[in-house]
Structure 1
Protein backbone atom coordinates (compact mmCIF):
# COMPACT_ATOMS: atom_id res chain seq x y z
CA UNK A 1 0.00 0.00 0.00
CA UNK A 2 1.24 3.48 -0.86
CA UNK A 3 2.02 5.78 2.01
CA UNK A 4 -0.63 8.49 2.07
CA UNK A 5 0.57 11.91 3.24
CA UNK A 6 -1.34 13.95 5.80
CA UNK A 7 -1.57 17.65 6.60
CA UNK A 8 -1.04 18.85 10.16
CA UNK A 9 -4.04 20.66 11.67
CA UNK A 10 -1.99 23.05 13.81
CA UNK A 11 -1.22 26.27 11.97
CA UNK A 12 -3.18 25.22 8.88
CA UNK A 13 -6.66 26.53 9.72
CA UNK A 14 -8.09 30.00 9.18
CA UNK A 15 -11.38 31.25 10.66
CA UNK A 16 -12.96 34.63 10.02
CA UNK A 17 -16.15 36.43 10.98
CA UNK A 18 -17.37 38.25 7.89
CA UNK A 19 -20.14 40.89 7.91
CA UNK A 20 -21.68 40.05 4.55
CA UNK A 21 -21.47 37.43 1.81
CA UNK A 22 -23.66 37.84 -1.27
CA UNK A 23 -23.62 34.12 -2.12
CA UNK A 24 -22.47 31.50 0.41
CA UNK A 25 -21.75 29.17 -2.52
CA UNK A 26 -19.43 31.66 -4.24
CA UNK A 27 -17.83 34.01 -1.69
CA UNK A 28 -15.19 36.41 -3.00
CA UNK A 29 -11.75 36.97 -1.49
CA UNK A 30 -12.72 40.62 -0.91
CA UNK A 31 -15.75 39.55 1.15
CA UNK A 32 -13.70 37.05 3.15
CA UNK A 33 -11.03 39.59 4.08
CA UNK A 34 -13.53 42.31 5.07
CA UNK A 35 -14.18 40.82 8.48
CA UNK A 36 -12.34 39.82 11.61
CA UNK A 37 -9.77 37.05 11.55
CA UNK A 38 -10.43 35.11 14.77
CA UNK A 39 -7.98 32.27 14.10
CA UNK A 40 -5.44 33.36 16.70
CA UNK A 41 -8.13 34.01 19.32
CA UNK A 42 -9.51 30.47 19.09
CA UNK A 43 -8.01 27.89 21.41
CA UNK A 44 -6.45 24.76 19.91
CA UNK A 45 -9.71 22.88 20.31
CA UNK A 46 -11.89 25.98 20.14
CA UNK A 47 -13.47 25.51 16.72
CA UNK A 48 -16.07 22.76 17.07
CA UNK A 49 -18.17 22.36 13.95
CA UNK A 50 -20.45 19.36 13.76
CA UNK A 51 -23.33 18.12 11.65
CA UNK A 52 -26.07 15.76 12.71
CA UNK A 53 -28.12 14.13 9.99
CA UNK A 54 -31.53 12.76 10.86
CA UNK A 55 -32.78 9.42 9.60
CA UNK A 56 -35.97 8.91 7.64
CA UNK A 57 -37.46 5.51 8.39
CA UNK A 58 -38.63 3.74 5.20
CA UNK A 59 -40.73 0.71 6.12
CA UNK A 60 -42.40 -1.43 3.47
CA UNK A 61 -45.29 -3.84 3.79
CA UNK A 62 -43.49 -6.41 1.65
CA UNK A 63 -40.30 -6.46 3.76
CA UNK A 64 -39.26 -7.51 7.24
CA UNK A 65 -36.53 -4.86 7.16
CA UNK A 66 -36.69 -1.17 7.91
CA UNK A 67 -34.74 0.88 5.39
CA UNK A 68 -33.31 4.33 5.90
CA UNK A 69 -32.98 7.50 3.89
CA UNK A 70 -31.02 10.67 4.53
CA UNK A 71 -32.99 13.28 6.46
CA UNK A 72 -32.51 16.86 7.56
CA UNK A 73 -29.11 18.09 8.70
CA UNK A 74 -28.39 20.23 11.74
CA UNK A 75 -25.14 22.19 11.56
CA UNK A 76 -23.72 23.27 14.94
CA UNK A 77 -20.83 25.58 15.74
CA UNK A 78 -19.27 26.21 19.14
CA UNK A 79 -16.21 28.38 19.63
CA UNK A 80 -13.86 28.85 22.56
CA UNK A 81 -11.58 31.85 22.44
CA UNK A 82 -9.15 33.96 24.42
CA UNK A 83 -11.00 36.73 26.28
CA UNK A 84 -8.89 39.75 27.24
CA UNK A 85 -11.72 41.78 28.80
CA UNK A 86 -10.35 44.18 31.46
CA UNK A 87 -6.74 43.12 30.86
CA UNK A 88 -3.95 45.37 29.60
CA UNK A 89 -4.48 43.70 26.18
CA UNK A 90 -8.19 44.59 26.07
CA UNK A 91 -8.02 47.65 23.80
CA UNK A 92 -5.90 46.04 21.09
CA UNK A 93 -6.60 42.33 21.41
CA UNK A 94 -10.19 41.48 22.24
CA UNK A 95 -11.81 41.40 18.79
CA UNK A 96 -13.31 37.92 19.10
CA UNK A 97 -15.08 38.70 22.38
CA UNK A 98 -16.33 42.06 21.11
CA UNK A 99 -17.57 40.58 17.82
CA UNK A 100 -19.37 37.70 19.51
CA UNK A 101 -21.79 39.57 21.73
CA UNK A 102 -25.09 37.75 22.04
CA UNK A 103 -27.21 38.36 18.94
CA UNK A 104 -24.31 39.45 16.70
CA UNK A 105 -24.79 38.27 13.13
CA UNK A 106 -21.87 37.18 10.94
CA UNK A 107 -20.73 34.66 8.39
CA UNK A 108 -18.19 32.27 9.87
CA UNK A 109 -15.73 31.27 7.16
CA UNK A 110 -13.30 28.39 7.68
CA UNK A 111 -10.47 27.12 5.53
CA UNK A 112 -8.25 24.11 6.22
CA UNK A 113 -4.96 22.67 4.96
CA UNK A 114 -3.21 25.90 3.98
CA UNK A 115 -0.89 27.82 6.28
CA UNK A 116 -2.88 30.20 8.45
CA UNK A 117 -0.95 33.19 7.07
CA UNK A 118 -2.02 32.48 3.47
CA UNK A 119 -4.57 35.07 2.36
CA UNK A 120 -7.97 34.05 1.03
CA UNK A 121 -7.68 33.69 -2.76
CA UNK A 122 -9.82 32.57 -5.68
CA UNK A 123 -10.18 28.78 -6.06
CA UNK A 124 -9.42 27.99 -2.40
CA UNK A 125 -12.05 25.74 -0.82
CA UNK A 126 -13.90 27.17 2.19
CA UNK A 127 -17.01 26.65 4.28
CA UNK A 128 -19.36 29.58 4.91
CA UNK A 129 -21.87 29.48 7.78
CA UNK A 130 -24.41 32.27 8.38
CA UNK A 131 -24.43 32.53 12.18
CA UNK A 132 -25.90 34.41 15.11
CA UNK A 133 -23.87 34.48 18.32
CA UNK A 134 -25.33 33.00 21.46
CA UNK A 135 -24.57 34.03 25.03
CA UNK A 136 -20.80 34.38 25.71
CA UNK A 137 -20.17 32.08 28.67
CA UNK A 138 -17.05 32.29 30.78
CA UNK A 139 -15.00 29.10 30.85
CA UNK A 140 -14.23 28.18 34.48
CA UNK A 141 -10.72 29.18 35.45
CA UNK A 142 -8.02 26.64 36.06
CA UNK A 143 -4.34 26.64 36.89
CA UNK A 144 -1.89 26.98 34.01
CA UNK A 145 -4.49 28.30 31.59
CA UNK A 146 -5.67 31.55 30.03
CA UNK A 147 -8.98 33.36 30.39
CA UNK A 148 -11.43 31.94 27.87
CA UNK A 149 -15.03 32.39 26.78
CA UNK A 150 -17.21 30.00 24.83
CA UNK A 151 -20.12 30.84 22.53
CA UNK A 152 -22.58 28.79 20.55
CA UNK A 153 -22.95 30.18 17.05
CA UNK A 154 -26.45 29.37 15.80
CA UNK A 155 -26.43 28.48 12.10
CA UNK A 156 -29.28 30.57 10.67
CA UNK A 157 -29.33 29.45 7.03
CA UNK A 158 -27.96 26.95 4.57
CA UNK A 159 -24.15 26.98 4.72
CA UNK A 160 -21.83 26.89 1.74
CA UNK A 161 -19.95 23.62 2.22
CA UNK A 162 -16.63 23.10 0.44
CA UNK A 163 -17.20 25.94 -2.00
CA UNK A 164 -14.52 27.61 -4.08
CA UNK A 165 -13.68 31.24 -3.44
CA UNK A 166 -14.87 33.12 -6.50
CA UNK A 167 -12.72 35.46 -8.56
CA UNK A 168 -13.64 39.12 -8.52
CA UNK A 169 -14.78 41.57 -5.90
Structure 2
Protein backbone atom coordinates (compact mmCIF):
# COMPACT_ATOMS: atom_id res chain seq x y z
CA UNK A 1 0.00 0.00 0.00
CA UNK A 2 1.43 3.40 -0.91
CA UNK A 3 1.79 6.27 1.53
CA UNK A 4 -0.06 9.51 0.79
CA UNK A 5 1.19 13.04 1.19
CA UNK A 6 -0.92 15.14 3.57
CA UNK A 7 -0.69 18.25 1.40
CA UNK A 8 -4.17 19.12 0.09
CA UNK A 9 -5.77 16.07 1.71
CA UNK A 10 -7.35 17.46 4.87
CA UNK A 11 -11.05 18.24 4.60
CA UNK A 12 -12.70 20.21 7.42
CA UNK A 13 -16.34 21.17 7.72
CA UNK A 14 -18.00 23.34 10.35
CA UNK A 15 -21.50 22.44 11.51
CA UNK A 16 -23.76 24.64 13.61
CA UNK A 17 -25.70 21.64 14.95
CA UNK A 18 -24.38 18.40 16.36
CA UNK A 19 -24.93 15.26 14.25
CA UNK A 20 -27.46 12.74 15.59
CA UNK A 21 -24.58 10.31 16.16
CA UNK A 22 -21.40 12.37 16.65
CA UNK A 23 -19.16 9.29 16.20
CA UNK A 24 -20.84 8.45 12.89
CA UNK A 25 -22.16 11.57 11.14
CA UNK A 26 -24.03 11.02 7.89
CA UNK A 27 -22.95 12.26 4.49
CA UNK A 28 -26.03 14.51 4.54
CA UNK A 29 -25.12 16.07 7.91
CA UNK A 30 -21.53 16.75 6.85
CA UNK A 31 -22.53 18.12 3.47
CA UNK A 32 -24.93 20.56 5.16
CA UNK A 33 -21.97 22.15 6.96
CA UNK A 34 -19.63 24.87 5.72
CA UNK A 35 -16.54 23.39 4.05
CA UNK A 36 -13.70 25.49 5.47
CA UNK A 37 -10.83 23.52 3.91
CA UNK A 38 -10.05 26.09 1.19
CA UNK A 39 -10.80 29.13 3.36
CA UNK A 40 -8.27 28.71 6.20
CA UNK A 41 -4.51 29.08 6.45
CA UNK A 42 -2.64 25.78 6.34
CA UNK A 43 0.53 26.80 8.21
CA UNK A 44 -1.07 27.37 11.62
CA UNK A 45 -4.09 25.05 11.48
CA UNK A 46 -4.39 23.00 14.67
CA UNK A 47 -7.16 20.58 15.56
CA UNK A 48 -6.66 17.43 17.55
CA UNK A 49 -5.46 15.68 20.68
CA UNK A 50 -2.43 16.79 22.66
CA UNK A 51 -0.76 15.06 25.62
CA UNK A 52 -3.16 13.92 28.32
CA UNK A 53 -2.79 15.11 31.89
CA UNK A 54 -0.47 12.94 33.97
CA UNK A 55 -1.40 11.57 37.36
CA UNK A 56 1.35 10.41 39.72
CA UNK A 57 -0.26 7.20 40.97
CA UNK A 58 2.57 4.67 41.06
CA UNK A 59 2.62 1.70 43.36
CA UNK A 60 5.01 1.83 46.30
CA UNK A 61 6.99 -1.12 44.91
CA UNK A 62 7.70 0.59 41.51
CA UNK A 63 11.05 2.21 40.91
CA UNK A 64 11.16 5.51 39.08
CA UNK A 65 8.17 7.46 37.84
CA UNK A 66 5.09 5.62 36.66
CA UNK A 67 2.33 8.03 35.70
CA UNK A 68 -1.25 7.16 34.86
CA UNK A 69 -2.92 8.99 32.00
CA UNK A 70 -5.59 11.42 33.15
CA UNK A 71 -8.06 13.61 31.29
CA UNK A 72 -7.54 14.10 27.56
CA UNK A 73 -6.48 17.47 26.18
CA UNK A 74 -7.01 19.00 22.76
CA UNK A 75 -5.91 22.01 20.75
CA UNK A 76 -7.87 23.92 18.14
CA UNK A 77 -7.34 27.11 16.15
CA UNK A 78 -7.89 28.19 12.56
CA UNK A 79 -7.06 31.32 10.60
CA UNK A 80 -9.82 32.17 8.13
CA UNK A 81 -9.03 34.39 5.19
CA UNK A 82 -11.36 37.37 4.80
CA UNK A 83 -13.30 37.93 1.55
CA UNK A 84 -14.60 41.30 0.39
CA UNK A 85 -17.03 42.36 -2.34
CA UNK A 86 -15.24 43.94 -5.33
CA UNK A 87 -17.78 46.74 -5.64
CA UNK A 88 -18.66 47.71 -2.07
CA UNK A 89 -15.33 46.68 -0.51
CA UNK A 90 -17.40 45.30 2.41
CA UNK A 91 -17.31 41.72 3.68
CA UNK A 92 -18.97 39.44 1.13
CA UNK A 93 -21.76 37.59 3.01
CA UNK A 94 -21.27 34.36 1.05
CA UNK A 95 -17.52 34.23 0.41
CA UNK A 96 -16.69 35.42 3.96
CA UNK A 97 -18.92 32.74 5.54
CA UNK A 98 -16.13 31.02 7.49
CA UNK A 99 -15.08 34.18 9.31
CA UNK A 100 -18.73 35.12 9.88
CA UNK A 101 -19.36 31.70 11.44
CA UNK A 102 -16.37 31.95 13.81
CA UNK A 103 -16.10 35.67 14.62
CA UNK A 104 -18.16 35.84 17.82
CA UNK A 105 -16.47 34.75 21.07
CA UNK A 106 -18.38 31.91 22.70
CA UNK A 107 -19.86 30.44 19.52
CA UNK A 108 -20.23 26.66 19.61
CA UNK A 109 -19.28 24.92 16.37
CA UNK A 110 -18.83 21.25 15.48
CA UNK A 111 -15.74 20.66 13.35
CA UNK A 112 -15.29 17.40 11.44
CA UNK A 113 -11.98 16.52 9.82
CA UNK A 114 -11.12 13.86 7.26
CA UNK A 115 -7.44 13.20 6.60
CA UNK A 116 -6.90 10.50 4.00
CA UNK A 117 -5.56 9.88 0.52
CA UNK A 118 -8.64 11.70 -0.85
CA UNK A 119 -8.15 15.31 -1.86
CA UNK A 120 -9.78 17.88 0.40
CA UNK A 121 -12.07 18.91 -2.46
CA UNK A 122 -13.58 15.42 -2.76
CA UNK A 123 -16.98 14.98 -1.08
CA UNK A 124 -17.51 12.88 2.02
CA UNK A 125 -18.51 9.27 1.41
CA UNK A 126 -19.79 6.47 3.59
CA UNK A 127 -16.89 4.76 5.33
CA UNK A 128 -14.61 7.82 5.43
CA UNK A 129 -12.67 8.07 8.68
CA UNK A 130 -13.47 11.30 10.54
CA UNK A 131 -12.73 13.03 13.81
CA UNK A 132 -15.30 15.38 15.31
CA UNK A 133 -14.82 18.20 17.79
CA UNK A 134 -17.22 20.45 19.66
CA UNK A 135 -15.39 23.76 19.97
CA UNK A 136 -16.08 27.17 21.49
CA UNK A 137 -14.56 30.14 19.71
CA UNK A 138 -12.45 32.86 21.31
CA UNK A 139 -12.01 36.39 19.97
CA UNK A 140 -10.43 36.52 16.50
CA UNK A 141 -6.88 37.86 16.65
CA UNK A 142 -4.97 40.03 14.19
CA UNK A 143 -1.79 38.33 12.99
CA UNK A 144 1.49 39.80 14.23
CA UNK A 145 2.62 40.10 10.61
CA UNK A 146 0.01 42.17 8.78
CA UNK A 147 1.46 41.25 5.37
CA UNK A 148 -0.20 38.88 2.96
CA UNK A 149 -3.95 38.41 2.82
CA UNK A 150 -6.32 39.89 5.39
CA UNK A 151 -7.08 37.16 7.91
CA UNK A 152 -7.83 36.55 11.60
CA UNK A 153 -6.63 33.70 13.85
CA UNK A 154 -9.50 32.16 15.85
CA UNK A 155 -8.37 30.23 18.94
CA UNK A 156 -10.86 27.63 20.16
CA UNK A 157 -11.41 25.48 23.20
CA UNK A 158 -12.38 21.86 22.54
CA UNK A 159 -15.30 20.81 24.71
CA UNK A 160 -15.76 17.25 23.43
CA UNK A 161 -14.05 15.08 20.82
CA UNK A 162 -15.19 12.05 18.85
CA UNK A 163 -12.09 10.30 17.56
CA UNK A 164 -11.87 7.38 15.13
CA UNK A 165 -15.36 7.85 13.70
CA UNK A 166 -16.75 6.74 10.34
CA UNK A 167 -19.15 8.51 8.03
CA UNK A 168 -22.51 6.83 7.47
CA UNK A 169 -24.39 6.85 4.17
CA UNK A 170 -26.74 9.77 3.45
CA UNK A 171 -29.70 7.81 4.75
CA UNK A 172 -27.79 6.93 7.89
CA UNK A 173 -27.37 3.20 7.17
Same fold (TM over 0.5): yes
Please list, as runs of the form range in 1=range in 2, the aligned pairs for 1:66-105 lying within 5 A after superposition: 66-84=65-83, 88=89, 90-91=91-92, 92-101=94-103, 102-105=105-108
Distance 1:63 1:11 in 2: 47
Q: What's the counterpart of residue 151 of structure 2?
A: 148
Decide whether the 8 Å contact of 1:135 with 1:151 is kept in 2. yes
Secondary structure at 2:21 match in 1 = coil
Please list, as runs of the form range in 1=range in 2, the aligned pairs for 1:29-108 lying within 5 A after superposition: 29-50=27-48, 51-84=50-83, 88=89, 90-91=91-92, 92-101=94-103, 102-108=105-111
Please, which of 110, 118, 135 is the counterpart of residue 131 of structure 1? Answer: 135
Question: Greater shift after overlay, 53-62 or 120-129?
Answer: 53-62
- The Cα offsets for residues 89-137 of structure 1, whole Å up to 9 and x where unpaired, read as 7314211110002222211011112111211111000111011111111
Which has the larger strand fraction? 1
When residues 86 and 138 of structure 1 are mapped into structure 2, their CA distance, relative to the original with a 3 A threshold, is farther
How far is 1:79 from its partner?
A: 0.7
Decide whether the 8 Å contact of 1:15 with 1:39 is kept in 2. yes
Unaligned runs of 5+ in 2: none
- Give the 4+ runs in structure 1 shifted more than 6 A: none
TM-score (norm 1): 0.86
How far is 1:86 from its partner?
A: 7.5
Question: Greater shift after overlay, 45-54 or 70-79?
Answer: 45-54
Secondary structure at 1:127 match in 2 = strand
TM-score (norm 2): 0.85
How far is 1:140 from its partner?
A: 3.0
Distance 1:30 1:46 in 2: 29
RMSD value over aligned CA atoms? Answer: 2.0
Question: Greater shift after overlay, 95-104 or 59-68?
Answer: 59-68
Secondary structure at 2:100 match in 1 = helix
Decide whether the 8 Å contact of 1:18 with 1:33 is kept in 2. no
